[in-house]
Structure 1
Amino acid sequence: MSKDVFVFIEQRDNVLQKVGIELLGKARELADDLGQNVVAMLLGENIKGQAEVLIKHGADKVIYVEDPILKEYVTEPYAKAINEIIKENDPEIVIYGATSIGRDLAPRLAARIHTGLTADCTKLEIDPESKNLMMTRPAFGGNLMATILCEDHRPQMATVRPGVMQAIDTDNSRTGEIVEKKIDFVPEDMNVTIKDILKIESKKKDITEAKILVSGGRGIGGPEGFQPLEDLAKVLGAEISSSRAAVDAGWITKDHQVGQTGKTVRPEVYFAMGISGAIQHLAGMEESDLIIAVNKTEDAPIFEVADLGVVGDVNAIVPKLAEALKKAKEEKAEI
């Protein structure tokens, strides 16, 4: 009988990726609702040392696979290893990050295991009556939220966007089981050749990691409207983000987009500048600790979630705000 909630944990250069820790937090919640355990699946070379971290973040058990073939992510060896783990353990639920790796790996496993897969989920819940996993994701370009069930096949599988789920705090008192799984890899499992790995160091922090975000929407007027936001962000030590409207207009690249069809963020402070607050955008930022909105339309939906709202022209207000903050910082430095 299927049981337990399994989580695929991503690592790069033996560094655990944040999305895996976030998924453990949600898996803990789902497993508690089911009265089951959380099992983390960790693959890599010399990766055992990271297993204890997963226990402290909510896993009851860690199944790890170590092999030189797993040093870098390659579809076939990773799919082979996870497939064997799933077939041997018969989990109730398996969740993956909706990253470049998760989006490549999860559908291949769904095909091999003959089960369903709901991609890019923003919400996971257990149905209190049927105990099935309710998997919610945006549909029709983010204009509709669809809740999908996989009633007849196990495991129930989903990919979840980074930043959507909340990681639980480290609990150093937690203990759990750490088990090594041996996989008989053969040379044919490495069906591609890695010639070289190029790592690009970005000066910009990913918006899901930022503590402060200054976000621009259609109301900033055009691509030039991001310059005052950049000036404000520089004073605050913040990153720039945007609504979908700004991305669709070609004013900024998609990696800055917040919302159902973009990224989900939880900064300490979120500045919504010239953003009306469509439900698709709110879903990506409403969990921010403090939301400050500037919009010339006084009944804009963004004001319904904002902690502080200013009705006015964003292009007039932002430069004055940046100047005032800069002056305040300079005065503080002189004291």
Structure 2
Amino acid sequence: MIRQWILPLCLFVLHIPFSAAKSCTIRVPEDIPHDGEPIYLNPDESGFRITGKVTKIESLSVFCPGRTIESVPCQRDGHSLLVAQKKCKGRILSELLDTREKCGKSGTLIEIGFQLPSKHFYSIYSSCFDRKSLSPLYTHHVLNGKGVKYRVKQPRKTFREGKGVYIGVNMDELYKGQLERFRKLFGAKQQFVLSSKTSQLFLSRGHLSPEADFTFGTEQHASEMYVNTAPQFQSFNAGNWLRVESRVRALANALQDDLHVFTGVLDVLQLANRKVFLGNGVVPVPALFWKAVFHVKTSAAIVFVGANNPHAENGAPSVCKDVCTEAGFAENSFSNSTLGITICCALKNIVKQSKVVLPRDIEGRKMQHFTKLLTSAEGRNGN
């Protein structure tokens, strides 16, 4: 689970609290430096969260790896923080922390985030990862509904493996070599995967926790880790799965509240009666992607399930009864196999099949309450 560590400040952390009369404001994204964006923290070393385009705040700390945590003073007029002047040199790289906690059917929990000078780890999101198959089973992050419209848009960087996970496997080469691999598996004239230059029938690095769900550039770049990806057909990635991700962000914006989001995979895709892996028995191509969305305050949730197979001749995934219309999330495109046939499920169906480990504030609630999340009218009003 995502942990925002709450810690006593160490002596080397400089924190200058502001009085209520000298509270400051920070504008996002305007006040955030385009290059050299640092990690933004509260004085207790939890992650700083914006509450809208303009966030009123009495204190803010910034951190660049290899340096100490610094507090950001108010400007003389007391109206804004000198945020733009605080920059880091070079790209800030997120790290992996193996908690060794068991999760899912066969996974261990990995936190993705940043090691702070106090020796504590600031986690952005977590991945329940199967080290045998080299595949995430699911990820978990919290979507800030008050900040979803004001994220800092940063150009995507390259995906990274992290230390000690993909031993003996080059993930970048596996994705680049997929066309050759499919020809070896299914013959030179196979049509399951085509060149990415001419078609969307290729396997992209499909985010589980989406880059666009995070506010700051450092958080977005932290999502660019292979423990947060699974092979996903681009026609599905840019089709119905993108629609699902957009609807979830619209929902968070409409609620103006946090949503817990779990995103995972189920089963291995079979083409021509053969299970498909990018490597030799590792990095399976999922048959299904699922996304469970929780609004804790109203004890409500919805689960989206999409088929990762543009060649499917059968109907919708058979994991549950489709409740998209009932829950207000129906889309005409959801029945399009090229875009990825997508349905909505009650939570209990996915919990049973994925063995997802839920946070305590969700786990103790009655599952029958998790069927609807929001009406379509409210959800469509989000941006």
**TM-score when normalising by structure 2:** 0.26
Which structure has the highest helix share of the two? 1
